[in-house]
Structure 1
Amino acid sequence: MSKKKNKVVTIYDIANQLNYSPSTISRALKNHKSIGKDTTKQIQETAKKLGYRPNSLAASLRNNRSNNIGILIARINRPFISSLISGVENSARAAGYNVLISQSDDNYKNEVANAKALYDSRVCGIVASLSMETKNVDHFKQFIEQDIPVVFVDRVPSDLNSYRVIIDNYSAAYKATEHLIQQGCKRIAHFAGAQHLNVYKLRKNGYIDALKAHDIAPDKDLLIYMNTLSFEEGKEATSKLLNMKNPPDGIFSSNDTAAVSAIMQAKEKGVKIPDELAVIGFNDDPLASIVEPALSTISHPAMKMGELSTKRILEHADKEMEKGVSEITILDTEVIIRASSQRIK
């Protein structure tokens, strides 16, 4: 015999039990000031006892908006992204909002599908960091056209009116490269990400300009383009670089993952870090301080970026901002010097 499903409790069930009107029940459950404190307490306690759950889907259908904030990111297992999500979630929860998270796995088609799913869920705003493959951002226009705020973080589009929370990637890369030069490096390789994404293009430009400013001619053979800046790509690139007739004496990587793999590969080949090869990464992921020697890197305030992104979404609703608003928030970074690059003490 199959089990009978539990009955869904509605405000009408609570109204019948307490002999109040459904409208009174509804207002009391929302802590409306028109309902007395004692009545509100009685209704809420009865609702809890009966197992009542508010129908947020019905509410979102009525209002054409929910109290859910969507997060659309590339890979949830990256420390930067995890910290970003924590920042969004902490701020959202404090304001009484929920968070819906989806990841694209750095795949454009997945990102388009996820954006549609979040839109159909009637999110009240979205925090997004583009996938490595994304060149067309038309799938975000559906949000903007309906005045649903979109806040892009880190990997941001350059041709869409939206909120953007970023760091000065050019300046950070310049400082990272200059640090290696100050340690005596003269042949510095760069692990570059996808160049259609502004974040990686700016990091490459900062690297090149720092070399030129110190009278070091950029060498195209030392500029390594990667698809995802993965551990495997970093390992393969480092092996090729170290097998060159004139190998590099420094590596600036656009993320920590590829930088850590460079250290490990160099150590396997008997190359001394940092004496023969100085390495600096980007993001200050937890693994940067675990690897031996510890990785020098660039701080990336992911948690704060998440908090500010949520703030922008909530402010947009409160201030009734105009459609298509464009606003950029730029956060500071710093060079974190550790043993992987520090030759001069």
Structure 2
Amino acid sequence: MKRRHATLSDIAKALNVSASTVSRALHDSPLIRKETKDSVIAMAKALNYQPNQQAIGLLNKKTKIIGVIVPEITGYFFATAINGLQDFVENTGYKLIIGQSNESFDQEAKLMETLSLARVDGLIISPTSETTSNIHLEKFRESGIPVVVFDRDCPNFLSDKVFVDDYEGAFQAVDYLIKTGCRKIAHLGGPANLTTCRCRKRGYLDALTQNGITPDPQLILEVPGFTPDCGEEIIRDLLDREAIPDAIFAVNDAVAIGTMPVILEKGLRIPQDISLIGFDDEPYSQYFMPSLTTVWQPVYELGLLSGRILMNHILHSPEEYDYRYELLKPELIVRQSSKPLV
């Protein structure tokens, strides 16, 4: 049997009063006697009455709901960003509806349609690796719903944007490897259509050239994903070549960690033969042997700031509002997988 929630009419029927009287009593109207208010409140508790917040929101032209779309929610990065966002909205009276696109543009578009029908007051989104069109985002903006793009960019889409400086993080990592004496530095980069991956590759290339090292195309490889399996597969191919690198800068920690058993299997040592640096500072990266040198990202702050900026936009009319572009600073965390500075 389908469960039915108690309504204003149920309370009214139980007390033999009108539904409008119940509504006024629950809203503490001065037109309703205290005895009636007390009876209505007691009956509402007895029937476990819960007001329909979405319906109330629609009457006020605000649902107090924020939509969030991310590629995945099980990994550390997006889970931590959502945690920061949740902590921010907790005291604002707003709720989150979180959708996982699974790196599928079609799924992302469907989620946005669902959120539009739910009449969310705003959207925070990190686009998929397949997202090359901004049409679905433009529809949101045209309907007056503010959008914050975070972590991954949607070029040519005008909105508030919050990112980590991937270029700076990559530059720091590769510059450090060079300062420890490494010269043949490989880059295991992510899908080229993602802005984060392109920025990390550009930081890698600039660190080499600014230190007088000509990039070797044979040492620049693109991994299809961000899992340890991707790192394991691509490092086998790289180490089977004649020119073995003396360092590896990977697009993320998982790919870097996936290379470790293969490097050791080939009789090579970390970091004596090959230094290794990842990106993200996943919590588990410090517990490997050797512990992983990596680039820390302020992920919690990324979610927190995205929420703050979106709320600021919700509270201001478009005429009063200037879009913000925020770039948070990463930090190199040196551990045992890279050589120390000489």
Assess same fold via TM > 0.5. yes
Aligned residues: 342
- Are 1:176 and 2:173 counterparts? yes
Q: Which has the higher mean CA deviation after the structures are superposed, 296-305 or 28-37?
A: 28-37
2:300 corresponds in structure 1 to 303
> Deviation of residue 296 (structure 1)?
0.9
Residue correspondence of structure 1 range 119-134 to structure 2 within 5 A: 119-134=116-131
Q: Which has the higher mean CA deviation after the structures are superposed, 19-28 or 241-250?
A: 19-28
| CA distance in 2: counterparts of 1:319 and 1:134, whole angstroms | 29
Residues 57, 63 of structure 2: 8 Å contact kept? yes
Residue correspondence of structure 1 range 192-341 to structure 2 within 5 A: 192-322=189-319, 326-341=323-338
Residues 132, 228 of structure 1: 8 Å contact kept? no
AA partner of residue 181 (structure 1): I
Q: Which whole-Å deviations, capped at 9, do the CAs of 1:16-74 have from their partners, x for residues lacking one?
A: 54577645644665678998999877654532321112223433544554222111111
| CA distance in 1: counterparts of 2:332 and 2:213, whole angstroms | 21
| CA distance in 2: counterparts of 1:204 and 1:101, whole angstroms | 30
> Deviation of residue 241 (structure 1)?
1.5
2:136 corresponds in structure 1 to 139
RMSD: 2.6
AA partner of residue 125 (structure 1): G
Residues 189, 222 of structure 1: 8 Å contact kept? yes
Q: 1:13 to 1:173 in 2, by over 3 A?
A: same
- For residue 95 of structure 2, the aligned residue among 98, 104, 110 is 98
Q: Which whole-Å deviations, capped at 9, do the CAs of 1:179-226 have from their partners, x for residues lacking one?
A: 111121111111212222222111111110100011111011111112
2:182 corresponds in structure 1 to 185
Q: 1:220 to 1:115 in 2, by over 3 A?
A: same
| CA distance in 1: counterparts of 2:287 and 2:32, whole angstroms | 57
AA partner of residue 297 (structure 1): T
- Are 1:164 and 2:137 counterparts? no
AA partner of residue 164 (structure 1): K
Query: Which 5+ residue runs of structure 2 have no aligned equivalent?
Result: none
Q: 1:242 to 1:117 in 2, by over 3 A?
A: same
AA partner of residue 247 (structure 1): I
TM-score (norm 1): 0.90
How many percent of aligned residue pairs carry the same amino acid? 34
Q: 1:173 to 1:226 in 2, by over 3 A?
A: same
Q: 1:38 to 1:308 in 2, by over 3 A?
A: farther
TM-score (norm 2): 0.91
Residues 163, 326 of structure 2: 8 Å contact kept? yes
Query: Which 5+ residue runs of structure 1 have no aligned equivalent?
Result: none
Q: Which has the higher mean CA deviation after the structures are superposed, 233-242 or 28-37?
A: 28-37
| CA distance in 2: counterparts of 1:36 and 1:180, whole angstroms | 77
Residue correspondence of structure 1 range 57-76 to structure 2 within 5 A: 57-63=54-60, 65-76=62-73
Q: Which has the higher mean CA deviation after the structures are superposed, 227-236 or 23-32?
A: 23-32
| CA distance in 2: counterparts of 1:33 and 1:192, whole angstroms | 66
